[in-house]
Amino acid sequence: MTKILIQRTFISLFHFIRKKLNFAGFSLSVGKFILNLHFLTLKFMSKIEVYSEIGQLEGVILHTPGKEIEQMTPATIGHALYSDILNLNIAQKEYSYFKGVLDSWCKTYEVTDLLAQVLQNESVKQDLLSRILERENKNFLYLELVEQPSDLLAVYLIEGYPYKEGKHPVEYKEKRFVLEPLYNLFFTRDASSSIYNQVLIHSMKTSVRDRESFIMECIFRNIFSAEIINPKLISSDATTEGGDYLIAKEDVLFIGNGLRTNNKGIEFMTNWYAARKEKQKILVQQLPQVRDSFIHLDMVFNFLNKDKCIVYEPLICKNNTGYNTTLIDIDHGKITYKEFPSFLSATKALGFDLQPIACGGEDLWNQEREQWHSGANFFCMGEGKVIGYARNTHTIDNLAKHGFEIINAEDVVNKKTDLRTKDKFAVTVQASELPRGCGGARCMTMPVLRKAVNWK
Protein backbone atom coordinates (compact mmCIF):
# COMPACT_ATOMS: atom_id res chain seq x y z
CA MET A 1 0.00 0.00 0.00
CA THR A 2 2.90 2.36 0.76
CA LYS A 3 4.32 1.72 -2.69
CA ILE A 4 1.02 2.56 -4.37
CA LEU A 5 0.65 5.77 -2.35
CA ILE A 6 4.16 6.91 -3.36
CA GLN A 7 3.44 6.19 -7.04
CA ARG A 8 0.17 8.10 -6.87
CA THR A 9 1.95 11.02 -5.22
CA PHE A 10 4.33 11.25 -8.19
CA ILE A 11 1.40 11.24 -10.60
CA SER A 12 -0.43 13.95 -8.65
CA LEU A 13 2.74 16.05 -8.52
CA PHE A 14 3.19 15.72 -12.26
CA HIS A 15 -0.37 16.83 -13.05
CA PHE A 16 -0.14 19.74 -10.58
CA ILE A 17 3.09 21.05 -12.16
CA ARG A 18 1.77 20.52 -15.69
CA LYS A 19 -1.35 22.53 -14.88
CA LYS A 20 0.70 25.38 -13.38
CA LEU A 21 3.16 25.45 -16.27
CA ASN A 22 0.42 25.48 -18.87
CA PHE A 23 -1.29 28.34 -17.05
CA ALA A 24 1.89 30.34 -16.92
CA GLY A 25 2.76 29.60 -20.54
CA PHE A 26 6.10 28.03 -19.64
CA SER A 27 7.81 24.99 -21.08
CA LEU A 28 6.62 21.57 -19.92
CA SER A 29 10.16 20.29 -19.49
CA VAL A 30 9.91 20.33 -15.71
CA GLY A 31 6.64 18.42 -15.87
CA LYS A 32 8.28 15.93 -18.21
CA PHE A 33 11.11 15.55 -15.71
CA ILE A 34 8.62 14.75 -12.96
CA LEU A 35 6.93 12.16 -15.20
CA ASN A 36 10.30 10.57 -15.95
CA LEU A 37 11.07 10.56 -12.24
CA HIS A 38 7.79 8.78 -11.59
CA PHE A 39 8.61 6.07 -14.08
CA LEU A 40 12.16 5.75 -12.75
CA THR A 41 10.70 5.21 -9.30
CA LEU A 42 8.20 2.76 -10.76
CA LYS A 43 10.99 0.75 -12.38
CA PHE A 44 12.83 0.24 -9.14
CA MET A 45 9.77 -0.26 -6.97
CA SER A 46 7.63 -2.45 -9.21
CA LYS A 47 7.86 -6.20 -9.25
CA ILE A 48 5.92 -9.03 -10.77
CA GLU A 49 4.07 -11.08 -8.16
CA VAL A 50 0.99 -12.98 -9.30
CA TYR A 51 0.64 -16.34 -7.54
CA SER A 52 -3.13 -16.73 -7.87
CA GLU A 53 -6.22 -15.49 -9.65
CA ILE A 54 -7.84 -14.23 -6.46
CA GLY A 55 -5.21 -12.43 -4.36
CA GLN A 56 -6.05 -8.78 -3.72
CA LEU A 57 -5.15 -6.81 -6.82
CA GLU A 58 -2.50 -4.12 -6.36
CA GLY A 59 -1.38 -3.39 -9.92
CA VAL A 60 -2.88 -3.99 -13.37
CA ILE A 61 -2.14 -2.99 -16.97
CA LEU A 62 -5.03 -1.69 -19.08
CA HIS A 63 -5.59 -0.12 -22.48
CA THR A 64 -8.48 2.24 -23.07
CA PRO A 65 -9.94 1.49 -26.54
CA GLY A 66 -8.87 4.15 -29.01
CA LYS A 67 -9.13 5.02 -32.69
CA GLU A 68 -7.69 1.63 -33.60
CA ILE A 69 -11.09 -0.03 -33.14
CA GLU A 70 -12.68 2.42 -35.60
CA GLN A 71 -10.48 1.24 -38.45
CA MET A 72 -12.44 -1.93 -39.22
CA THR A 73 -14.93 -2.41 -42.05
CA PRO A 74 -17.33 -5.29 -42.70
CA ALA A 75 -14.76 -6.61 -45.15
CA THR A 76 -11.92 -6.62 -42.61
CA ILE A 77 -13.53 -7.57 -39.29
CA GLY A 78 -12.71 -11.24 -39.80
CA HIS A 79 -9.05 -10.45 -40.33
CA ALA A 80 -9.17 -8.21 -37.24
CA LEU A 81 -10.62 -11.16 -35.24
CA TYR A 82 -13.98 -9.47 -34.67
CA SER A 83 -17.50 -10.49 -35.58
CA ASP A 84 -18.95 -6.99 -35.62
CA ILE A 85 -18.00 -3.32 -35.77
CA LEU A 86 -17.81 -1.44 -32.47
CA ASN A 87 -18.96 2.12 -31.78
CA LEU A 88 -15.93 3.84 -30.27
CA ASN A 89 -17.79 6.54 -28.34
CA ILE A 90 -20.04 4.04 -26.61
CA ALA A 91 -17.20 1.56 -26.03
CA GLN A 92 -15.06 4.27 -24.40
CA LYS A 93 -17.89 5.36 -22.12
CA GLU A 94 -18.47 1.76 -21.04
CA TYR A 95 -14.75 1.25 -20.53
CA SER A 96 -14.47 4.42 -18.45
CA TYR A 97 -16.67 2.85 -15.77
CA PHE A 98 -14.73 -0.41 -15.90
CA LYS A 99 -11.42 1.44 -15.54
CA GLY A 100 -12.87 3.80 -12.96
CA VAL A 101 -13.66 0.89 -10.67
CA LEU A 102 -10.12 -0.45 -10.98
CA ASP A 103 -8.64 3.04 -10.49
CA SER A 104 -10.48 3.24 -7.19
CA TRP A 105 -9.13 -0.14 -6.12
CA CYS A 106 -5.46 -0.34 -7.14
CA LYS A 107 -2.66 1.08 -9.25
CA THR A 108 -3.51 1.03 -12.96
CA TYR A 109 -1.12 1.44 -15.87
CA GLU A 110 -2.05 2.37 -19.45
CA VAL A 111 -0.15 0.63 -22.27
CA THR A 112 0.14 3.84 -24.31
CA ASP A 113 1.76 5.71 -21.41
CA LEU A 114 4.18 2.90 -20.64
CA LEU A 115 5.13 2.50 -24.30
CA ALA A 116 5.70 6.25 -24.76
CA GLN A 117 8.01 6.19 -21.76
CA VAL A 118 10.18 3.29 -22.87
CA LEU A 119 10.46 4.79 -26.37
CA GLN A 120 12.27 7.79 -24.90
CA ASN A 121 15.29 5.52 -24.68
CA GLU A 122 16.78 5.75 -28.17
CA SER A 123 18.34 2.29 -28.22
CA VAL A 124 15.10 0.72 -26.96
CA LYS A 125 13.15 2.60 -29.64
CA GLN A 126 15.50 1.42 -32.38
CA ASP A 127 15.42 -2.18 -31.22
CA LEU A 128 11.63 -2.34 -30.87
CA LEU A 129 11.06 -0.71 -34.26
CA SER A 130 13.54 -3.04 -35.94
CA ARG A 131 11.85 -6.13 -34.47
CA ILE A 132 8.34 -4.98 -35.39
CA LEU A 133 9.18 -3.87 -38.93
CA GLU A 134 11.22 -6.99 -39.63
CA ARG A 135 8.33 -9.18 -38.46
CA GLU A 136 5.77 -7.25 -40.54
CA ASN A 137 8.06 -6.89 -43.56
CA LYS A 138 7.92 -3.08 -43.39
CA ASN A 139 11.59 -2.18 -43.06
CA PHE A 140 11.09 0.70 -45.51
CA LEU A 141 9.32 2.59 -42.70
CA TYR A 142 12.25 2.53 -40.29
CA LEU A 143 13.85 5.90 -41.10
CA GLU A 144 10.63 7.90 -41.00
CA LEU A 145 9.36 6.22 -37.82
CA VAL A 146 12.58 6.27 -35.82
CA GLU A 147 12.58 10.10 -36.06
CA GLN A 148 9.11 10.40 -34.50
CA PRO A 149 8.76 11.70 -30.92
CA SER A 150 8.21 8.90 -28.43
CA ASP A 151 4.61 9.82 -27.57
CA LEU A 152 3.59 10.10 -31.24
CA LEU A 153 5.39 6.89 -32.17
CA ALA A 154 3.54 5.08 -29.39
CA VAL A 155 0.25 6.25 -30.93
CA TYR A 156 1.32 5.12 -34.42
CA LEU A 157 2.32 1.68 -33.15
CA ILE A 158 -1.08 1.24 -31.52
CA GLU A 159 -3.56 3.17 -33.68
CA GLY A 160 -1.76 2.46 -36.95
CA TYR A 161 0.46 4.47 -39.30
CA PRO A 162 -1.58 6.06 -42.13
CA TYR A 163 -0.74 5.63 -45.81
CA LYS A 164 0.74 8.75 -47.45
CA GLU A 165 0.23 9.30 -51.15
CA GLY A 166 3.51 9.37 -53.10
CA LYS A 167 5.53 8.29 -50.07
CA HIS A 168 4.41 4.74 -49.39
CA PRO A 169 3.92 1.77 -51.72
CA VAL A 170 0.60 2.10 -53.56
CA GLU A 171 -0.44 -1.40 -52.45
CA TYR A 172 -1.33 0.11 -49.06
CA LYS A 173 -3.60 2.83 -50.45
CA GLU A 174 -6.80 0.84 -50.24
CA LYS A 175 -5.95 -0.37 -46.73
CA ARG A 176 -5.32 3.25 -45.64
CA PHE A 177 -2.64 2.11 -43.20
CA VAL A 178 0.92 1.01 -43.79
CA LEU A 179 1.19 -0.19 -40.21
CA GLU A 180 -2.04 -1.89 -39.25
CA PRO A 181 -3.89 -0.74 -36.10
CA LEU A 182 -3.87 -3.02 -33.05
CA TYR A 183 -7.60 -3.69 -33.01
CA ASN A 184 -7.43 -6.08 -30.05
CA LEU A 185 -5.06 -4.28 -27.70
CA PHE A 186 -7.73 -3.40 -25.13
CA PHE A 187 -7.73 -7.13 -24.37
CA THR A 188 -4.40 -6.72 -22.54
CA ARG A 189 -4.63 -10.25 -21.09
CA ASP A 190 -3.66 -12.03 -24.28
CA ALA A 191 -0.19 -10.85 -25.32
CA SER A 192 1.50 -11.44 -21.95
CA SER A 193 0.87 -13.12 -18.61
CA SER A 194 2.32 -12.49 -15.18
CA ILE A 195 3.01 -15.99 -13.90
CA TYR A 196 4.44 -16.02 -10.39
CA ASN A 197 7.46 -13.68 -10.53
CA GLN A 198 8.02 -13.91 -14.29
CA VAL A 199 6.25 -12.74 -17.43
CA LEU A 200 5.27 -15.07 -20.24
CA ILE A 201 5.32 -13.24 -23.56
CA HIS A 202 2.83 -15.09 -25.66
CA SER A 203 3.41 -16.51 -29.09
CA MET A 204 0.16 -15.32 -30.63
CA LYS A 205 -1.89 -17.54 -32.91
CA THR A 206 -2.55 -14.82 -35.49
CA SER A 207 -0.01 -12.44 -37.02
CA VAL A 208 -2.39 -9.48 -36.65
CA ARG A 209 -1.58 -9.57 -32.91
CA ASP A 210 2.18 -10.18 -33.03
CA ARG A 211 3.04 -6.52 -32.46
CA GLU A 212 1.20 -6.61 -29.14
CA SER A 213 3.67 -9.20 -27.87
CA PHE A 214 6.67 -7.14 -28.98
CA ILE A 215 5.28 -4.05 -27.23
CA MET A 216 4.48 -5.85 -23.99
CA GLU A 217 7.89 -7.52 -23.89
CA CYS A 218 9.55 -4.12 -24.34
CA ILE A 219 7.47 -2.65 -21.52
CA PHE A 220 8.15 -5.50 -19.11
CA ARG A 221 11.88 -5.53 -19.79
CA ASN A 222 12.38 -1.81 -19.49
CA ILE A 223 9.77 -0.63 -16.98
CA PHE A 224 9.35 -3.65 -14.72
CA SER A 225 12.79 -5.25 -15.27
CA ALA A 226 10.92 -8.54 -15.47
CA GLU A 227 12.34 -11.97 -16.14
CA ILE A 228 10.87 -13.01 -19.48
CA ILE A 229 9.67 -16.39 -20.74
CA ASN A 230 9.33 -16.33 -24.54
CA PRO A 231 8.20 -19.46 -26.43
CA LYS A 232 9.07 -17.83 -29.78
CA LEU A 233 12.76 -18.04 -28.98
CA ILE A 234 12.59 -21.82 -28.60
CA SER A 235 9.68 -23.17 -30.63
CA SER A 236 8.34 -21.39 -33.71
CA ASP A 237 5.38 -23.81 -33.81
CA ALA A 238 4.20 -23.09 -30.26
CA THR A 239 1.21 -20.79 -29.84
CA THR A 240 0.02 -19.49 -26.47
CA GLU A 241 -2.35 -16.72 -25.36
CA GLY A 242 -3.02 -15.24 -21.95
CA GLY A 243 -6.72 -16.01 -21.76
CA ASP A 244 -5.78 -19.70 -21.66
CA TYR A 245 -3.50 -19.32 -18.61
CA LEU A 246 -4.91 -19.25 -15.07
CA ILE A 247 -2.64 -19.21 -12.02
CA ALA A 248 -4.37 -21.54 -9.59
CA LYS A 249 -1.61 -21.75 -6.96
CA GLU A 250 2.16 -21.29 -6.86
CA ASP A 251 2.59 -24.88 -8.09
CA VAL A 252 -0.58 -25.29 -10.17
CA LEU A 253 -1.47 -23.79 -13.54
CA PHE A 254 -4.69 -24.23 -15.50
CA ILE A 255 -4.25 -24.01 -19.29
CA GLY A 256 -6.81 -24.09 -22.09
CA ASN A 257 -6.03 -26.04 -25.25
CA GLY A 258 -8.05 -24.73 -28.17
CA LEU A 259 -7.92 -22.31 -31.07
CA ARG A 260 -5.25 -20.05 -29.60
CA THR A 261 -3.04 -22.26 -27.40
CA ASN A 262 -1.92 -25.42 -29.18
CA ASN A 263 -0.27 -28.66 -28.06
CA LYS A 264 3.19 -27.29 -28.88
CA GLY A 265 2.56 -24.32 -26.60
CA ILE A 266 1.59 -26.59 -23.72
CA GLU A 267 4.58 -28.83 -24.45
CA PHE A 268 6.83 -25.78 -24.26
CA MET A 269 5.48 -24.79 -20.82
CA THR A 270 5.74 -28.37 -19.56
CA ASN A 271 9.38 -28.66 -20.59
CA TRP A 272 10.13 -25.18 -19.26
CA TYR A 273 8.96 -26.05 -15.76
CA ALA A 274 10.39 -29.58 -15.86
CA ALA A 275 13.83 -28.04 -16.37
CA ARG A 276 13.44 -25.36 -13.69
CA LYS A 277 11.05 -26.40 -10.91
CA GLU A 278 11.09 -29.46 -8.73
CA LYS A 279 7.32 -29.74 -8.75
CA GLN A 280 4.62 -28.22 -10.94
CA LYS A 281 1.17 -29.34 -11.97
CA ILE A 282 -0.53 -28.20 -15.18
CA LEU A 283 -4.22 -28.96 -15.68
CA VAL A 284 -5.13 -28.80 -19.36
CA GLN A 285 -8.70 -28.44 -20.60
CA GLN A 286 -9.37 -29.08 -24.26
CA LEU A 287 -11.74 -26.47 -25.74
CA PRO A 288 -14.13 -26.54 -28.71
CA GLN A 289 -12.55 -25.24 -31.91
CA VAL A 290 -15.20 -22.52 -32.13
CA ARG A 291 -14.26 -18.92 -32.74
CA ASP A 292 -15.69 -16.08 -30.63
CA SER A 293 -17.31 -17.93 -27.73
CA PHE A 294 -14.67 -20.52 -26.81
CA ILE A 295 -11.50 -18.60 -27.64
CA HIS A 296 -9.82 -19.20 -24.28
CA LEU A 297 -10.23 -21.11 -21.03
CA ASP A 298 -11.23 -17.95 -19.17
CA MET A 299 -14.38 -17.79 -21.30
CA VAL A 300 -15.68 -20.95 -19.59
CA PHE A 301 -14.02 -20.96 -16.15
CA ASN A 302 -12.76 -18.44 -13.62
CA PHE A 303 -12.06 -18.40 -9.89
CA LEU A 304 -14.31 -16.19 -7.75
CA ASN A 305 -12.63 -17.00 -4.44
CA LYS A 306 -11.03 -19.99 -2.73
CA ASP A 307 -14.18 -22.11 -2.79
CA LYS A 308 -16.29 -20.77 -5.66
CA CYS A 309 -15.87 -20.51 -9.41
CA ILE A 310 -17.93 -19.25 -12.33
CA VAL A 311 -18.32 -21.86 -15.07
CA TYR A 312 -19.91 -22.67 -18.38
CA GLU A 313 -21.52 -25.78 -16.97
CA PRO A 314 -21.82 -28.00 -20.10
CA LEU A 315 -18.05 -27.97 -20.64
CA ILE A 316 -16.61 -27.65 -17.13
CA CYS A 317 -18.94 -29.78 -15.00
CA LYS A 318 -20.22 -32.47 -17.36
CA ASN A 319 -18.31 -35.61 -18.30
CA ASN A 320 -20.01 -36.17 -21.67
CA THR A 321 -18.71 -33.22 -23.69
CA GLY A 322 -16.01 -35.18 -25.50
CA TYR A 323 -13.27 -32.68 -24.65
CA ASN A 324 -10.29 -34.05 -22.76
CA THR A 325 -9.14 -32.96 -19.31
CA THR A 326 -5.50 -33.86 -18.66
CA LEU A 327 -3.33 -33.36 -15.58
CA ILE A 328 0.37 -32.99 -16.30
CA ASP A 329 2.43 -33.74 -13.19
CA ILE A 330 6.07 -32.58 -13.08
CA ASP A 331 8.12 -34.11 -10.29
CA HIS A 332 11.90 -33.60 -10.30
CA GLY A 333 12.06 -33.69 -14.08
CA LYS A 334 9.71 -36.64 -14.48
CA ILE A 335 6.53 -35.87 -16.44
CA THR A 336 3.37 -37.97 -16.10
CA TYR A 337 -0.11 -37.57 -17.55
CA LYS A 338 -3.52 -38.47 -16.12
CA GLU A 339 -6.96 -38.09 -17.68
CA PHE A 340 -10.03 -36.94 -15.74
CA PRO A 341 -13.73 -37.18 -16.61
CA SER A 342 -14.26 -33.43 -16.18
CA PHE A 343 -12.38 -30.26 -15.40
CA LEU A 344 -14.11 -29.78 -12.06
CA SER A 345 -13.32 -33.33 -10.92
CA ALA A 346 -9.67 -32.69 -11.74
CA THR A 347 -9.60 -29.49 -9.67
CA LYS A 348 -11.00 -31.48 -6.73
CA ALA A 349 -8.19 -34.05 -7.10
CA LEU A 350 -5.75 -31.14 -6.93
CA GLY A 351 -7.16 -30.06 -3.57
CA PHE A 352 -9.58 -27.34 -4.70
CA ASP A 353 -13.06 -27.68 -3.22
CA LEU A 354 -14.86 -25.39 -5.66
CA GLN A 355 -18.58 -24.78 -5.77
CA PRO A 356 -19.50 -24.03 -9.39
CA ILE A 357 -21.78 -21.09 -10.11
CA ALA A 358 -23.30 -21.52 -13.54
CA CYS A 359 -22.95 -18.74 -16.07
CA GLY A 360 -26.50 -18.15 -17.33
CA GLY A 361 -28.13 -19.86 -14.36
CA GLU A 362 -29.80 -23.26 -14.65
CA ASP A 363 -31.32 -23.02 -18.15
CA LEU A 364 -29.15 -24.31 -21.03
CA TRP A 365 -30.31 -21.66 -23.49
CA ASN A 366 -29.47 -18.88 -21.05
CA GLN A 367 -26.10 -20.51 -20.38
CA GLU A 368 -25.32 -20.53 -24.10
CA ARG A 369 -26.52 -16.96 -24.66
CA GLU A 370 -24.65 -15.46 -21.73
CA GLN A 371 -21.45 -17.44 -22.25
CA TRP A 372 -21.43 -15.99 -25.77
CA HIS A 373 -21.19 -12.50 -24.27
CA SER A 374 -18.48 -13.34 -21.72
CA GLY A 375 -20.83 -14.33 -18.91
CA ALA A 376 -18.14 -16.51 -17.33
CA ASN A 377 -15.37 -13.98 -17.90
CA PHE A 378 -15.31 -12.32 -14.47
CA PHE A 379 -12.15 -10.76 -13.04
CA CYS A 380 -11.13 -11.05 -9.39
CA MET A 381 -10.08 -7.86 -7.64
CA GLY A 382 -9.68 -9.92 -4.49
CA GLU A 383 -11.17 -12.97 -2.79
CA GLY A 384 -14.91 -12.86 -3.45
CA LYS A 385 -14.57 -9.42 -5.05
CA VAL A 386 -15.25 -9.58 -8.79
CA ILE A 387 -16.24 -7.46 -11.77
CA GLY A 388 -18.07 -8.39 -14.97
CA TYR A 389 -20.77 -7.38 -17.45
CA ALA A 390 -24.24 -6.39 -16.21
CA ARG A 391 -25.93 -7.56 -19.43
CA ASN A 392 -25.67 -11.22 -18.37
CA THR A 393 -28.66 -10.96 -16.05
CA HIS A 394 -29.16 -14.67 -15.31
CA THR A 395 -25.48 -14.93 -14.34
CA ILE A 396 -25.77 -11.89 -12.08
CA ASP A 397 -28.89 -13.31 -10.45
CA ASN A 398 -27.05 -16.57 -9.81
CA LEU A 399 -24.17 -14.72 -8.16
CA ALA A 400 -26.65 -12.90 -5.93
CA LYS A 401 -28.18 -16.23 -4.92
CA HIS A 402 -24.71 -17.33 -3.81
CA GLY A 403 -24.20 -14.37 -1.53
CA PHE A 404 -22.54 -11.79 -3.79
CA GLU A 405 -23.72 -8.22 -3.30
CA ILE A 406 -24.43 -6.77 -6.74
CA ILE A 407 -22.99 -3.27 -7.16
CA ASN A 408 -23.32 -0.96 -10.16
CA ALA A 409 -19.97 0.28 -11.50
CA GLU A 410 -21.35 3.79 -11.92
CA ASP A 411 -22.08 3.96 -8.19
CA VAL A 412 -18.45 3.08 -7.45
CA VAL A 413 -17.07 5.64 -9.90
CA ASN A 414 -19.45 8.33 -8.63
CA LYS A 415 -18.36 7.51 -5.06
CA LYS A 416 -21.82 6.42 -3.94
CA THR A 417 -20.37 3.06 -2.89
CA ASP A 418 -17.05 2.31 -1.21
CA LEU A 419 -15.91 -1.18 -2.23
CA ARG A 420 -13.43 -1.35 0.63
CA THR A 421 -16.31 -1.54 3.09
CA LYS A 422 -17.71 -4.58 1.29
CA ASP A 423 -16.80 -8.19 1.95
CA LYS A 424 -18.20 -10.10 -1.02
CA PHE A 425 -19.43 -8.41 -4.16
CA ALA A 426 -19.84 -8.45 -7.94
CA VAL A 427 -19.42 -5.09 -9.63
CA THR A 428 -21.47 -4.93 -12.84
CA VAL A 429 -20.49 -2.81 -15.84
CA GLN A 430 -23.30 -1.73 -18.16
CA ALA A 431 -21.93 -2.66 -21.58
CA SER A 432 -23.26 -3.48 -25.03
CA GLU A 433 -20.30 -2.56 -27.25
CA LEU A 434 -17.37 -4.04 -25.29
CA PRO A 435 -18.85 -7.57 -25.24
CA ARG A 436 -19.12 -7.47 -29.03
CA GLY A 437 -15.33 -7.55 -29.09
CA CYS A 438 -15.64 -11.13 -27.74
CA GLY A 439 -14.06 -10.58 -24.36
CA GLY A 440 -14.93 -9.61 -20.80
CA ALA A 441 -13.42 -8.18 -17.64
CA ARG A 442 -10.62 -10.73 -17.29
CA CYS A 443 -9.72 -10.33 -20.97
CA MET A 444 -9.31 -6.57 -20.45
CA THR A 445 -6.83 -6.84 -17.57
CA MET A 446 -3.19 -7.82 -17.18
CA PRO A 447 -2.35 -8.05 -13.44
CA VAL A 448 1.22 -7.42 -12.38
CA LEU A 449 0.86 -7.47 -8.60
CA ARG A 450 -1.42 -9.37 -6.23
CA LYS A 451 -1.25 -10.05 -2.52
CA ALA A 452 -0.55 -13.60 -1.40
CA VAL A 453 -3.49 -15.91 -0.61
CA ASN A 454 -3.61 -17.98 2.55
CA TRP A 455 -4.94 -21.30 1.27
CA LYS A 456 -5.07 -22.93 4.72
Predicted confidence at residue 18, as pLDDT, reads 44
Round to whole Å and give the CA distance between 347 and 337.
15
Predicted confidence at residue 46, as pLDDT, reads 65
**409: enclosing H helix or E strand:** helix 409-413
Predicted confidence at residue 16, as pLDDT, reads 47
- Closest C-alpha among 430, 315, 314, 308 to residue 373: 430
Q: How many CA atoms lie within 13 A of 352 on its CB side?
A: 26
Sorted by where each begins, the domain ranges of the chain are 1-45
Predicted confidence at residue 322, as pLDDT, reads 81
Predicted confidence at residue 36, as pLDDT, reads 53
Q: How many CA atoms lie within 13 A of 379 on its CB side?
A: 27
Predicted confidence at residue 5, as pLDDT, reads 46
Low-confidence ranges of the chain (pLDDT < 70): 1-46, 291-292, 319-320
Predicted confidence at residue 319, as pLDDT, reads 63
Q: How many CA atoms lie within 13 A of 176 on its CB side?
A: 9
DSSP 290-318: -TTTTSSGGGTEEE-SSSEEEE-HHHHT-
Predicted confidence at residue 164, as pLDDT, reads 94
- Closest C-alpha among 210, 266, 274 to residue 238: 266
| Burial tier of 279 (Cβ tally within 10 Å: 0-12, 13-18, 19+) | exposed
Count Cβ neighbours within 10 Å for each residue of 110-149 and write b for 16 or more, e otherwise.
Answer: ebbebbbbbbbeeebbeebbebbbeebebeebeeebeebe
Q: What angle do CA 291, 293, 296 make, to 5 degrees?
A: 80
Count Cβ neighbours within 10 Å for each residue of 2-15 and write b for 16 or more, e otherwise.
Answer: ebeeebeebeeebe
Predicted confidence at residue 47, as pLDDT, reads 86
Predicted confidence at residue 456, as pLDDT, reads 84
